[in-house]
């Protein structure tokens, strides 16, 4: 794809750049890119900028087509993209959510410290790898089918807790309490259900992981205390989504939306932006199926939480409760949700697409769990397996500027193929071991895709969000154990 808009990026300040409406014919709103000067320079030849401009041409878009500092090329929407659409005349786009519906992250606290792991690191890594199936074709411990699978698609993490895969309190610190209303399993195809039937409790491949991490540095003592974290503390950070079920839901509806857009006369600059009006039959059916897939993802992360607690119990010979293994927070970063935001000074309901972007609501927002009301919503930002991740908190600026959104991770700077070529012949497992990071991976041949050099430095990404006032840094986390597909 030839980039035609990058030269028109205009600096607004040290962390915001504007893509004017005239950058691409048909733009209804400008593009706003969150980046520092170095990131903006790297975007000069990045086709993701074309995607920011393309999204600005979609009907009913509100305020701006947004890109977070972890922006990189995706399907239709750039990954790191945020866009909100009026319910009255706006659209929903499957590519604005992505293939891995409700790919998201969760952090589990513990009362352990780094010294507690010194003698048992390898054993804990083995136990986690055994209990949390990983890899492209990974299957969970039990196949779910028929009415049971439909119940999962309706109940999400709540179903998992009711079936012994967690604690009722887990739901209190989960976005949407772990299940979106309005899910319709009947709109999830038989093929999608077949793909998801055996995958509950499995990690998948690519950038999905379970990591045991230590809190390395605290930046905000007050908020860290509210979140129950402190320097030296061990936490478990996990990242996965709806697996094959969500992928198939997206695949199924891309065709449906392409047809709907043509019938509606919507002119698309890129067929990957296949969309339907929100209030259309196709739009409503996609949202109901998407919510069902999102619920499967929440159930999946809940089942993995249960397995992680089991691994720690086996190694430390203490109950998960005694180890303080409560859920700090769980948040989606591939999703579309009806939310209330300001548009021209008026509070309106819009459909917010977050494609590789994390919700970041500030203190006292009604959707922030009561225990965090005075602090704000926890924001979980994974980095790469060789450096660090961040715990942040939602800030007021996010509500003013980004529909309550911020970045979701480091963001790729190399394609998977390019990363594999660069890492050919490199023993990443040994290199990470030398840095004090123990890795368990299903397929070593693919580990190069996830090398640190393939990603932006998440510290720089988070710094932009902090300076822009859309999320504030709370703590930095360093990996000790990494389990991947």
Q: CA-based angle 340:345:348, to the nearest 5? A: 25
DSSP letters, 60-113, are TB-S-EEEEEEEE--SSSPEEEEEEEETTT-EEEGGGT-SSTT-EEEEEEEEEE
d(CA 274, CA 257): 5
The number of beta carbons lying within 10 Å of the beta carbon of residue 425 is 5
Query: Which one of 72, 333, 365, 408 is the catalytic residue?
Result: 408
The tens digit of pLDDT for each residue in 444-456 reads: 878 888 888 989 9
Strands 275-277 and 233-240: what pairing? Answer: unpaired
Number of neighbouring beta carbons within 10 Å of residue 427: 11
- For residue 66, the cross-strand partners are 32, 82
Alpha-carbon span 333 to 327, nearest angstrom:
17
CA dihedral (127, 310, 476, 297) in degrees, to 10, reads 100
pLDDT tens, per residue, the chain with 485 residues: 344 564 579 999 999 999 999 899 999 999 999 999 999 999 988 999 999 999 999 999 999 999 999 999 999 999 999 999 999 999 999 999 999 999 999 999 999 999 999 999 999 999 999 999 987 767 777 768 778 999 999 999 999 999 999 999 999 999 999 999 999 999 999 999 999 999 999 999 889 999 999 999 999 999 999 999 999 999 999 999 999 999 999 999 999 999 999 999 999 999 999 999 999 999 999 999 999 999 999 999 999 999 999 999 999 999 999 999 999 999 999 999 999 998 888 899 999 999 999 999 999 999 999 999 999 999 999 999 999 999 999 999 999 999 999 999 999 988 888 988 888 888 899 999 999 999 999 888 788 888 889 899 999 999 999 999 999 999 999 999 999 98
| 408 tagged catalytic | yes
Q: Which residues of 274-303 are buried (b: 16+ CB within 10 A; e: fewer)?
A: bbbbbebebbbbbbbbbbbbbbbbbbbbbb
**Residue of 368, 106, 49 whose CA lies nearest to 237:** 106
At 240-260, the pLDDT tens digits run 999 999 999 999 999 999 999
CA-to-CA distance for 278 and 283, rounded, in angstroms?
5
Report the distance separating Cα 133 and Cα 462, nearest Å. Answer: 30
Residue from 392, 382, 371, 379 nearest 219 by CA: 392
């Amino acid at each position: 794809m030839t980039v035609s808009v990058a030269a028109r990026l205009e600096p607004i300040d040290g962390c915001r750049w504007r893509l004017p409406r005239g950058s691409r014919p048909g733009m209804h709103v400008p593009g706003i890119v969150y980046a520092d000067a170095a990131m903006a320079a790297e975007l000069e030849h990045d086709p993701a900028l074309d995607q920011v401009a393309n999204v600005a041409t979609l009907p009913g878009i509100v305020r701006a087509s947004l890109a977070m500092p972890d922006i990189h090329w995706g399907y239709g929407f750039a990954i790191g993209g945020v866009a909100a659409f009026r319910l009255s005349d706006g659209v929903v786009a499957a590519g604005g959510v992505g293939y891995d519906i409700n790919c998201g992250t969760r952090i589990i606290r513990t009362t352990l410290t780094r010294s507690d792991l010194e003698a048992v690191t390898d054993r804990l890594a083995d136990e986690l790898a055994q209990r949390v199936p990983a890899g492209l074709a990974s299957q969970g411990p039990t196949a779910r089918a028929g009415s049971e699978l439909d119940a999962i698609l309706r109940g999400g993490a709540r179903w998992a807790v009711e079936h012994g895969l967690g604690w009722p309190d887990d739901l209190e610190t989960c976005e949407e309490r772990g299940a979106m209303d309005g899910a319709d399993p009947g709109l999830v195809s038989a093929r999608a259900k077949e793909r998801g039937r055996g995958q509950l409790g499995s990690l998948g491949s690519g950038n999905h992981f379970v990591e045991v991490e230590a809190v390395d540095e605290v930046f905000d003592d007050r908020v860290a205390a509210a979140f129950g974290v402190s320097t030296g503390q061990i936490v478990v950070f996990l990242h996965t989504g709806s697996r094959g079920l969500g992928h198939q839901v997206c695949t199924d509806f891309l065709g449906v939306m392409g047809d709907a857009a043509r019938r509606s006369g919507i002119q698309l600059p890129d067929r990957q932006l296949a969309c339907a009006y929100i209030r259309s039959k196709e739009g409503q059916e996609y949202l109901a199926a998407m919510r069902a897939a999102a619920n499967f993802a929440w159930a999946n992360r809940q089942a993995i939480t249960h397995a992680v607690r089991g691994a720690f119990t086996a190694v430390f010979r203490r109950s998960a409760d005694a180890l303080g293994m409560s859920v700090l927070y769980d948040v989606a970063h591939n999703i579309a949700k009806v939310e209330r935001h300001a548009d021209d000074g008026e509070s309106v309901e819009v459909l917010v697409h977050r494609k590789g972007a994390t919700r970041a609501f500030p203190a006292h927002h009604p959707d922030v769990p009561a225990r965090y009301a005075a602090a704000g919503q926890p924001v979980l930002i994974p980095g790469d397996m060789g450096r660090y991740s961040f715990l942040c908190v939602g800030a007021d600026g996010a509500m003013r500027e980004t529909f309550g959104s911020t970045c979701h991770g480091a963001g790729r700077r190399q394609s998977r193929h390019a990363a594999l070529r660069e890492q050919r012949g490199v023993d990443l497992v040994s290199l990470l071991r030398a840095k004090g990071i123990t890795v368990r991976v299903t397929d070593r041949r693919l580990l190069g895709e996830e090398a640190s050099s393939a990603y932006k430095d998440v510290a720089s990404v988070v710094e932009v969000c902090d300076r822009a006032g859309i999320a504030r840094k709370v703590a930095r986390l360093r990996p000790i154990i990494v389990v991947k597909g």
